[in-house]
Amino acid sequence: MPPLTFAYYCSGHGYGHATRVSAFASHLLSLPSEDRPTIYITSSAPKHVFAESIALGALYRYAEIDPIIVQPLAYRVDRQKSVDVLKSFLDRKDTILDLERQWLEDIKAHAVLSDAAFMGCLAAKAAGIPSILITNFTFDSVYSYLSTPLLDALSPTHHDHLSPTSGSHHNGCLDLVPDVPVPICELEPLVEHIFVGYRCADILFLLPGCIPIPSFFVQPSLPSQDWVDVCSNEFHSEVIECLLRKPSTCPLHPSIPFPTPSPPHAKRSIPRTAIQAPLIVRPPTSTTSVYTPEGRSRLLSSIGVPHDFHDPTRTKILIVSFGGQVFRTPSRPSSRRHSRSATPEMSPTHVNGIANAIPEMHLLPLVREPKISSPQASSSADHPLSHADSHEDIAPRLATPSHIWIPGAPPASKPSLTRHSSAEFRIPEVATIPPTPSGLIEAFDLNAGGDESELDTRLLPDSSWIAIVCGVSKDQWHGSHDKDTGLPDGFFVAPRDVYMPDLTAVGDVLLGKLGYGTVSECVDACTPFVYVSRPLFIEEHGLRLLLSREGVGVELSRYLYEAGDWASGVEEAWNRGKALKAKKRIDAANGIGMDKRKTEGLDMAQQVVRWTQDWWGSHLSN
């Protein structure tokens, strides 16, 4: 039987899709030679994130095959701009579809795998070949949820704290586009295009941490806002009951016929199928495992963590990671890297009104107002903030005297004994994968006064903890070894290309945003997860359920994150998960259970190959 050729379509929205696509492609490429397929990975995510599977023989092809959800900040969503991006993509849909159909025919693909790009399923149907959807959510649900009446709202009083960008068309950080629900009547015809694309898929491998997949399962149906209780911001009980059933027992929508005329092999009627998939996750490094003292020390030493902090019985490690975002500093012409002032600092300062200062979601107009002192009036001329389209690249600082810049997240206040009397800061430009469209970079006003009596914040629980910050650029990582970084004591930075499964395994707690990649690696490593919610991403509900069943998850409000008050959440997560983490370290150091994910992944890879071979039948040899 001739080898199969798979076209693996990967959404460009975030690293979670890319890391699990690379992980599963690696399983496929690790099958015995008689079953090993040829794999083309098609995505707008950069090639390097698929390095693991490319090293095994996967072929990479760049293509913009899906729209994106626009995130002006790591855990905020711009609803209207997201809809605008979707409309623009749909305007080009027919052209893109024709290009993808022709490409599939050119490479003689036997099937499309998709995570979770609807265009891949649509192109497969047009080319007369089957498509296999491998995901825990689909974007018809995500876009549909932009109509939810739950608001990711700012307090109106925060606008009094803004300082407009001098001479720029950009608004202040808090002057983000108001979070206004998109009318269902506007969304429905747009979402229908995505829904129909997913309806073209023939089989679903449903990953853990899933939400309803309306293009496969008859119930629950769209709009997805109906799945969530607006009072509790949780799935309705009947939705959870659906998610707890075996996929094979749930009623499915029928298959969509192939277009006419179509090739002979595409004229059969194949019943649609849904299968529960295992956790697809990148494994820790197998050589010199980080669960052994030698492997742990090797990794920590490579980051620059002194040997005194390598013993897990004496030092606990917080990993801080908000995804794959990379940031650089927008700057004025002829500007130079800003160096820290030697002016004595007097007290810590808060970020006034960064993002949403409420601990949880509220219906308009319910907004909880935190205690934040009013900043002193200052003109934009005194504190110039530059355009984001400068051509001068300058490696940004990881910290200012009063704030820490975590890549992919807004600045967090840095508790200290002193503060600057006046300082000038530059703002990172967040680059998502794919990059957020231009014009969305926001400006922060960090020149806010603070009342030390109101500030009792702790980044880490006590002196037995250190923190490792992820996602920094090469220039930033090299610069982090300078004495003038401004990072708090006990904070270290990992290079951007650090292998996250290893770092997650070494960590005692991870702080970040909810996403499949991070959640799956925390579950696999038994690392407790402190997360900052992205409430307009409906995928979160499935990931929270996964954490509640198979891991430890503790929510940290945005206000506490941005205030630099992380310690209580970190401590709670550590206390809840430390016994399971300790057992995992002992078992893994002795090689117990280390092949579980690999075995499950290979079994699923074999299922995909067998299903595709059965679909083609006697036509496969032609």
Alpha carbon distance 474, 472 (integer Å): 7
Q: Which of 73-87, 118-132, 521-535 has the lowest mean pLDDT?
A: 73-87
Q: What is the DSSP letter of 309?
A: G
Name the percent of the chain lying above pLDDT 70: 71
Q: Give residue limits of the domains in the chain.
A: 5-207+209-277+595-621, 306-341+365-589
Q: Are 241 and 229 spatial neighbours (Cβ–Cβ below 8 Å)?
A: no
Residue 605 is encoded by which pair of tokens? 């890879």
Residue 17's pLDDT band, with cuts at 50, 70 and 90, is: very high
pLDDT at position 7 is 98
Question: If you average pLDDT over residues 157-173, what whole number do you get?
Answer: 35
Query: CB burial class (10 A; 0-12, 13-18, 19+) of residue 245?
Result: exposed
Residue 178's pLDDT band, with cuts at 50, 70 and 90, is: confident
pLDDT in tens, 401-410: 666 767 666 6
Q: Tell me: pLDDT of 599 over 80.
A: yes
Q: Which residues pair with 150 in a beta bridge?
A: 363
Q: Are 65 and 340 spatial neighbours (Cβ–Cβ below 8 Å)?
A: no
Helix-, strand-, coil-residue percentages of the chain, each rounded to 5:
35, 15, 50
Q: Are 126 and 99 spatial neighbours (Cβ–Cβ below 8 Å)?
A: no
Q: Tell me: pLDDT of 162 over 70.
A: no
Question: If you average pLDDT over residues 455-473, what whole number do you get?
Answer: 83
Q: Distance of CA 250 to CAs 73, 79, 92, 242, 279, Å?
A: 37, 32, 35, 8, 21
pLDDT in tens, 339-361: 222 233 333 323 222 233 333 33
Residue 270 is encoded by which pair of tokens? 């194949």
Return the axis-axis angle of helices 184-199 and 79-91, rounded to nearest 10°. Answer: 50
Size of the chain in residues? 622
Question: If you average pLDDT over residues 8-20, what whole number do you get?
Answer: 93
pLDDT at position 153 is 59
- DSSP β-ladder status, 228-229 and 234-235: antiparallel
- DSSP β-ladder status, 553-555 and 362-363: unpaired
